[in-house]
Chains A and B, each alone.
Chain A
Amino acid sequence: MKIEFEHHQAAHCESGVTSNLLRNSSGGKITEPLAFGIGAGLFFAYIPLIKINNGPAIAFRTMPGYIFNRTCKSLGIPVISKKFSSKEKAEAYLKECLHNGDPVGCQVGVYYLPYFPKEYRFHFNAHNLIVYGMDDDKYLISDPIMDTTHVMDSCQLERVRFAKGALAPKGHIYYPKHGAVITDETIKQAIKSGIKKNVYNMLSIPGSFAGVSGIKNTGKKIKKWRDKLGLQTAGLYLAQMVRMQEEIGTGGGGFRYIYAAFLQEADNYLPGNQLPEISEMFTKAGDMWRTAAVHAAGIYKGRIGSQEDFDTMGNYLIEIAEVEKMAFEKLKNIKWQ
């Protein structure tokens, strides 16, 4: 059972899956950066209450599942999305989809993902891949962060679809209903609504844990980490932050480069709105995140580690918060041409 499906490598799993699943109905127009931007993928949140591998949860992009749902919704494409309590039913449903010719997105945990290198296997349950057919009893897998396709047997796939822990996927399966037509006009509207949503998420979420105020607040907290946690744990926390920021394929910029690429592409659909200039501001933010990561590495490698170094680290984030705030305010104030 093989479905016509083209594997395309992407930077990030969910925007990659979204773009690949929409390739047919969009005629390839919904590229990965467009999916990321329309899905309002850029985010920041610092959630010390949720512990991941004994460190705080720090997110640089939106909640798992949001990019796909928002992108489809904005483009007017009905989404089918299911979770299961029974492993048997989950597999039966998957087979039914494949039988109907639908490639499907699956949320999976990476810990038991067979083709991942050991160093990358943590109990991270918000990875996404596409199942696009069966060859004998093996499932054909298109994982957007890998350059080639892979196969998994039924047990292996069941294990990752029913991974346990935070954000357990519970066999989550999703795909766009086929037959929808995406016009340039829909894309234009979707871009505007994606930007609006992202502006809200970064500027207007109350409290100081999320958005640009979250970045600033985290910067202030980092300055206290050395005293509060001790050098070693503070180093572990910083390493954790860099790992989230450099989650596969972001080139170190914490997804800011993908967003900058999105704004450039958006400019092709909506010229005359200063999107290229704002894109450059996100490139700058991405570069600053990278510089901050290099500094953080100095600390967790033990090369540097004075209070002054932690102050510098914190200040990097406070400066980044300023740049991103300005960029999102510019986006907020666009009078669309």
Chain B
Amino acid sequence: MKKDDVPQDLSSLGKITQEVCYATDSSGKYVAALSSGWDVKINALDVAWGDIEKRIAAAKEKVLNKEASPLLFFMEYRLMDSKILAGYTGFWQWQIKRHLKPEAFNKLTDKQLKKYAEAFNIKVEDLKSITVHED
């Protein structure tokens, strides 16, 4: 890639820092150049987040219909599968799957709820009421 072709499409990262990439100058020598982002990648990220938003919305619907516990919503919100959540909480994956049912979730002790809340980096009351504070 030639230095002049280094993409300069402003990305969310580009607002914070430019990225270094290697490109060739007029004599063909590689130099470090700065890029503010690239549409192709911005779109790839948009596609990924579009999919995540859909999953979050579907999870919320399920929780409101009492088909799933608030856990499902926050797992989607925090992009966690049961394996990652098991890592953060110390619960087994089968326990997490059980806690995804509203009946099982409602029986959780304060201590157990706290573990989940910590993993999601939220407060216990927000976990129960599925309240989101942007961070």
Contacts and interface: CB of A to CB of B under 8 A. Distances in A.
Nearest to A265: B30
A43 B13 CA distance: 25
A272 B77 CA distance: 56
Interface in A86-119: 111-112, 115, 117-119
B132 interface: no
A164 B84 contact: yes
Interface in B49-102: 49, 51-52, 78-80, 83-84, 86-88
Contact of A300 (B1, B35, B44, B79): B44
Interface string A226-249: 000000000110011011001011
Contact of A11 (B12, B19, B29, B86): B19
Interface residues of A, number: 55
B104 interface: no
Contacts of B45: 119-120, 239, 243
Given A111-B79, A147-B17, A148-B17, A240 B48 contact: yes
Most chain B Cβ neighbours within 10 Å, of A242, A251, A253, A257: A251
Contacts of B17: 9, 145-148
A236 B23 contact: no
Nearest to B134: A118
A251 B79 contact: no
Contacts, number: 132
A10 interface: yes
Interface string A9-26: 111000000000000000
Contact of A301 (B16, B43, B51): B43
Nearest to A115: B16
Given A119-B12, A252-B38, A264-B29, A286 B1 contact: yes
A212 interface: no
B41 A251 contact: no
A313 B29 CA distance: 30
Interface residues of B, number: 43
B12 A297 contact: no
A117 B15 contact: yes
Nearest to B48: A239
A141 interface: no
A166 B79 CA distance: 13
| Highest count of chain A CB atoms <10 Å: which of B23, B40, B49 | B40
A249 B20 contact: yes
Most buried by B among A168, A239, A286: A239
A176 interface: no
Interface in A235-290: 235-236, 239-240, 242-243, 246, 248-253, 257-258, 260-261, 264-265, 279-280, 283, 286-287, 290
B16 to A, nearest CB: 6
Interface in A302-332: none
Contact of A250 (B21, B49, B52): B21
A165 B83 contact: yes
B22 A260 contact: yes
5 contacts: A10-B20, A119-B45, A243-B45, A257-B21, A257-B30
Closest 6 CB pairs of A and B: A164-B87, A251-B21, A261-B30, A165-B84, A239-B44, A239-B47
